[in-house]
Amino acid sequence: MMKKFLFLSLNLLLLSLYVFAQEGDPEQRKKDTLPNNWYQMDPATTGFQGVSIQKAYNFLKATKLKGKKVIVAVIDSGIDTTHEDLKPVLWTNRGEIPGNGIDDDKNGYVDDVHGWNFIGGKDGRNVKDDSYEASRVYHSLKHRFEGKTIDETKLSPEEKVAYQNYTRAKESITKDVNENEINFMKQIRMPLLKGDSVIRKELGKEVYSCKDLKDYKTTDKAAMQTRSMILGLCGANKNDDISNEMILDDINAQIRKGDEVNEAPPAYRGDIVKDNENDINDRYYGNNDIMANTPFHGSFCAGIIAAAHNNNDKLNGIADNVEIMAIRAVPNGDEHDKDIALAIKYAVDNGAKVINMSFGKGFSPHKEWVDDAIRYAGSKGVLLVHAAGNDSKNIDVEYNFPNPIYADKSGRAQNFITVGASGDKKAGGLIASFSNYGKNEVDVFAPGVQIFSTTPNNNSYGKSQGTSFAAPIVAGIAALILEYYPSLTPQQVKSAIEKSVEPIKEKVKNPETGEMVEMGTLSRTGGMVNAYAAVKNAAEMATQNKPNKLPKSSIKKGKKG
């Protein structure tokens, strides 16, 4: 998910790294054990637990079918629209004349040429940091329940739900906050920033990664210390693509979370967006800055799905004939239900057939709005692909939003697929240690460890991990299916993907408990997706969809008269 996809235990990690940094930087850290494109490889022929994408293309080529363009919406933090592998695949709204300041297609969004930013202001400002939903819920209900003796048996149904949300939110925002760790991070933030400012000046880069720091030499003590800490963090995560910006964002987010225990969070979003957040019908807000100041996460997802084919040998997306519709709705913090609901509807109304949603949270105060959007997407034949989350928890029993279960208890969405993160035996095991799981609520697993994709700034590429990057692999497979078999319903596409899973027979490690368990206890399908098997399943379904035609000789001609 958005907040946790990089540093799964940053607060604890930094404590050890600070001490470690004083002893020298970890130059001899373990190298990546997987090739860049491992997640696309075929397990049977390469030994890597990928999704057999080339075999899928070989099968499709043999059918002699001509693929059709598919629009995939990426609801995320923003996308680098200048990247060499993303610029050629951006969706373009042909009803808009770029830059004229007029809503040419009259859809309510001015100059939405490549998508829309629901967390931007009409004055051009954009939301970067935001609060956590748990703190927003807790402080919104605190005045009703704090310090009072509550007898739940005497509460109305509405009040009972509010009270339960209050108590759960209070527990949530306090249980994971260690004041000593928060204070420590506050202490190291200033020297880290001091060294960072020197490094940025000496490197000539505002954003830099550990790759940039390997050969970087300095005589400035603050810069030396910052360099050591950042290299240590990359070494602990086995990821040289972690940047200064990501680390500082995570530190600020952890500090912000601690501050939100005692104080109501500022109106980060409201002060910029200036809509009525309590009115779902107030929908024409935001701006068209889809890159904004937080494009890493969305760019990474977009590259996995659709990085341009045949333009370089660095990366090919899972799908080869896709346009990426960029919708910015996820800040550095928890997303707001209204923005997600309207982002889904925007995607549907503008032609998306697959929507990737690599974000999530533990509270959803307006879940009914998101549910309505999910229903709407289903009615228009749109498949939603959602990352399961990176908390190593069982989402059969733990809260995780959005999800396909309707809040009004009317059933569950059939156009919604939830994806956990798998790995490889050469890199820690078949199941990612951070991945959420659930025998009932996680549909499939897809690669989510040491994933290589597009990163912002100067046409760069790098590796990262998380269920955030497993979901776009499935979204890419869904798009590939729809390129060649556009008649399939979202339910059929989901079924083709689920049936592609070859159940894992050996035991795997439960991400939460560490015990060795049957794969079938961690997801509905008990294994990893396979693009080759998925397109074969889709081909069979498409054949079954075709109406039976009577031979010409059996058609009786009517008489004129």
Q: What is the CATH number of the domain that holds 119?
A: 3.40.50.200
As for how many domains the chain has, the answer is 2
Rounded distance, CA 459 to CA 97, Å?
Answer: 27
Complete DSSP assignment for 16-52: HHHHHHHT---TTPPPP-S-TTGGGS-HHHHSS----
CA distances from 481 to 356, 399, 476, 493 (A): 15, 31, 9, 7
pLDDT digit string, tens, across residues 353-391: 999 999 999 999 999 999 999 999 999 999 999 999 999
Segment among 7-11, 25-29, 32-36, 520-524 with least mean pLDDT? 25-29
Cβ–Cβ under 8 Å, residues 280 and 292: no
Cβ–Cβ under 8 Å, residues 234 and 263: no
State the pairing for strand pair 451-455/460-464.
antiparallel
Q: 57 lies in a domain? A: no
Is this prediction's pTM over 0.85?
yes
**Residues 83 and 162 reside in one and the same domain:** no
Q: 28 lies in a domain? A: no
**Residues 125 and 148 reside in one and the same domain:** no
Q: 539 lies in a domain? A: yes
Selection from 360, 334, 441 nearest residue 397 by Cα: 441
Could you say which of 191, 226, 259 is where a domain stops?
Answer: 259
**Residues 244 and 292 reside in one and the same domain:** no
Q: Which domain holds residue 285?
A: 65-129+276-544
Q: How many CA atoms lie within 13 A of 340 on its CB side?
A: 28
Rounded distance, CA 385 to CA 474, Å?
Answer: 7
Q: If 0-12 CB within 10 Å is exposed, 13-18 middle and 19+ buried, where does residue 438 land?
A: buried
pLDDT digit string, tens, across residues 46-63: 999 999 999 999 999 999
Look over the chain and give the mean of its residue pLDDT values, rounded to a whole number: 90
Question: What is the structure's pLDDT at 252?
Answer: 86
Segment among 15-19, 238-242, 310-314, 549-553 with least mean pLDDT? 15-19
Segment among 3-12, 75-84, 245-254 with least mean pLDDT? 3-12
CB under 8 Å to 326, separation ≥6 — which residues? 73, 74, 76, 78, 79, 81, 90, 91, 114, 115, 290, 291, 298, 302
Q: 550 lies in a domain? A: no
Sign of CA dihedral 351, 354, 358, 361: positive
pLDDT digit string, tens, across residues 427-464: 889 999 999 999 999 999 999 999 999 999 889 999 98
Cβ–Cβ under 8 Å, residues 329 and 340: yes
Phi, psi angles (nearest 5°) of residue 236: -65, -35
**Residues 172 and 77 reside in one and the same domain:** no
Could you say which of 259, 293, 320 is where a domain stops?
Answer: 259
CB under 8 Å to 380, separation ≥6 — which residues? 348
Q: 265 lies in a domain? A: no
**Residues 114 and 142 reside in one and the same domain:** no
Could you say which of 208, 225, 259 is where a domain stops?
Answer: 259
The one-letter amino acid at 261 = V
**Residues 419 and 512 reside in one and the same domain:** yes
Rg (alpha carbons) of the chain, rounded to whole number:
24
**Residues 247 and 342 reside in one and the same domain:** no
Residue 99 has pLDDT above 80, yes or no: yes
Residue 549 has pLDDT above 60, yes or no: no
Rounded distance, CA 302 to CA 297, Å?
Answer: 9
**Residues 191 and 303 reside in one and the same domain:** no
**Residues 284 and 251 reside in one and the same domain:** no
**Residues 519 and 427 reside in one and the same domain:** yes
Rounded distance, CA 384 to CA 408, Å?
Answer: 20
pLDDT grade for 27, boundaries at 50, 70 and 90? very low
pLDDT digit string, tens, across residues 276-300: 999 999 999 999 999 998 999 999 9
Selection from 480, 475, 521, 527 nearest residue 499 by Cα: 527
Of 474 and 32, more confident = 474
pLDDT grade for 316, boundaries at 50, 70 and 90? very high
